[in-house]
Amino acid sequence: MDVIERIKSQLSSSPVVLYMKGTPDFPQCGFSAAAVRALGAVGAEFQHVNIFEDPELREALKQYSNWPTYPQLYVNGELIGGSDIIIEMYKSGELQKLIGEAARAAG
């Protein structure tokens, strides 16, 4: 399976996917840690992908998403954004609404 197919497979495997540095238990950068905290605060169930474990995916995802930094949050296969956007959405209440809608749609 080529790297783009792996990305598509990961995005279709869960309604909420966070590409991050490290893991939710051990984030390896402050931005990934902030994203995990915001997702946790809204009760999101999400799949994570540690980009340090797959250098090929790490580079390909930048091209796939046209987003140069990590973390990258996807909901229903659509890029939401990075840490700053996640935090802003959390503060405004949009993140909880978006995650709730994704959970209900997943059923």
pLDDT digits (tens, 9 = 90+) for 63-103: 999 999 999 999 999 999 999 999 999 999 999 999 999 98
Residue 58 CA to residue 80 CA, distance in Å, equals: 17
Classify 95 as helix, strand or coil.
Answer: helix
Residue 53 CA to residue 70 CA, distance in Å, equals: 14
CATH topology of domain 3-106: Glutaredoxin (3.40.30)
Residue ranges of domains in the chain: 3-106
User: pLDDT class for 105, splitting at 50, 70, 90?
Assistant: confident
Query: Global pTM?
Result: 0.96
| pLDDT number for residue 70 | 97
